């Protein structure tokens, strides 16, 4: 089986994670990269043939149901509503090609929060523990976890649900991690921090007494003590987010923030849901962030 990625022509709005706009495949998902997760997913489901070539658009996350549908077929193309090819299976020359439309469970990455949905799916599918780090006495794990070498979980850490934690992290004491969370390498999650259903990239420090929910926090970001991300509207409606100055429905009932790399928040910062912090921005102690913040 030969898997080839090709570029997407569709417009992307990955701000403030715009450094990944032209290299979507490198975005960290569940302890690996987006592209590596796609390859793993395809190889698990599609019938393997030495002659089979798979061409897949770099921003396309095919559903398991769709891959099962095309598995075993010889020549087939999956297209979107604009008739652009998303995935193509090719195994025999001079064979008629079958065309099918993409299903609603598949996802095309267009916005930064789309990565959250994919991460949720991949982490939730973990089947067995892989623990190479150190777990101190007094840690409780109620789920399936992957904990890489050099990472230490201090007393009082409670993990509920599945989680992936990278290398050389310090977690705790007394942290609460839940809901399909991925924490990258060399991160520090301090005393009494709660992280829920989020993607935390490498070298992030989240100070004590903070809450991060349904959020993406990019590399080398530092959250001051008591930083709180809101992730739910009082009226229960979907979260909105500004794209090119216009508010759009993200399709998510719960969405915290998207923070670019090297963001710094002052102590007791409060962030409204669905807000974005551009790389290298900072907040003052006690600041309430009501709108997107650009440097």
Active site residue: 188, 208, 264, 280, which one?
208
Helix (H, G, I), strand (E, B), or coil: what is residue 245?
coil
DSSP 10-77: S--B-TT-GGGTT-GGGSEETTEEHHHHHHHHHHHHSPP-TT-EEEEETTEE--HHHHHHHTT-SSEE
Q: Which helix (H) or strand (E) holds 118?
A: helix 114-124
Here the tokens at position 99 are: 């065309």
Q: pLDDT value at position 72?
A: 78
The larger pLDDT score, comparing residue 52 to residue 235, is at 235
Q: What is the pLDDT of residue 23?
A: 93
Question: Per residue in 105-152, pLDDT tens?
Answer: 999 999 999 999 999 999 999 999 999 999 999 999 999 999 999 999
Query: Residue 94 has what pLDDT?
Result: 64
Q: Which residue has the higher pLDDT, 47 or 171?
A: 171
**pTM of full prediction above 0.75:** yes
**Token representation of residue 87:** 């995935």
Q: What are the tens digits of pLDDT across the range 179-233?
A: 899 999 999 999 999 999 999 999 999 999 999 999 999 999 999 999 999 999 9
Q: What is the pLDDT of residue 147?
A: 98
Residue range 7-16, pLDDT digits in tens: 988 889 999 9
**Low-confidence winner among 37-51, 62-76, 194-208, 279-293 (lowest mean pLDDT):** 37-51
Smallest CA-to-CA distance from 37 within 76, 72, 64, 10 is with 64
Mean pLDDT score, 236-254: 93
Q: State yes or no: is 18 an active-site residue.
A: no
Instruction: Please report the domains of the chain, with CATH numbers, ordered by start residue.
Output: 7-110 (no CATH), 130-289 (2.160.10.10)
Give CA separation, 273 vs 113, 116, 189, 232, in Å.
Answer: 12, 15, 21, 7
pLDDT score for 92: 66
Instruction: Return d(Cα 223, Cα 234) in angstroms, integer.
Output: 25
């Amino acid at each position: 089986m030969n898997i080839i990625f090709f570029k997407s022509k569709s417009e992307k709005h990955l701000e403030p994670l715009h450094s990944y706009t032209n290299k979507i495949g490198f975005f960290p998902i569940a302890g690996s990269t987006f592209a590596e997760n796609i390859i793993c997913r395809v190889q698990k489901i599609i019938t393997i043939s030495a002659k089979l070539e798979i061409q897949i658009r770099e921003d396309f996350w095919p559903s398991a149901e769709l891959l099962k549908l095309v598995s075993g077929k010889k020549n087939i193309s999956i297209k979107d509503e604009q008739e652009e090819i998303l995935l193509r299976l090719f195994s025999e020359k001079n064979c008629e090609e079958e065309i099918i439309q993409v299903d609603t469970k598949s996802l095309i990455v267009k916005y930064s929060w789309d990565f959250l949905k994919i991460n949720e799916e991949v982490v939730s599918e973990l089947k067995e523990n892989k623990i190479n780090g150190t777990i101190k006495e007094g840690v409780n794990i109620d789920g399936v976890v992957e904990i890489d070498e050099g990472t230490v979980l201090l007393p009082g850490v409670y993990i509920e649900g599945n989680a992936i934690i990278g290398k050389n992290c310090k977690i705790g004491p007394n942290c609460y991690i839940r809901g399909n969370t991925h924490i990258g390498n060399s991160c520090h999650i301090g005393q009494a921090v709660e992280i829920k259903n989020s993607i935390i990239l490498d070298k992030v420090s989240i100070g004590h007494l903070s809450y991060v929910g349904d959020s993406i926090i990019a590399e080398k970001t530092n959250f001051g003590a008591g930083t709180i991300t809101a992730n739910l509207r009082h009226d229960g409606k979907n979260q909105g987010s500004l794209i090119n100055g216009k508010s759009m429905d993200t399709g998510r009932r719960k969405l915290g923030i998207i923070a670019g790399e090297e963001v710094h928040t002052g102590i007791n910062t409060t962030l409204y849901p669905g807000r974005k912090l551009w790389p290298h921005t900072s907040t003052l102690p006690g600041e309430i962030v009501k709108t997107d913040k650009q440097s």
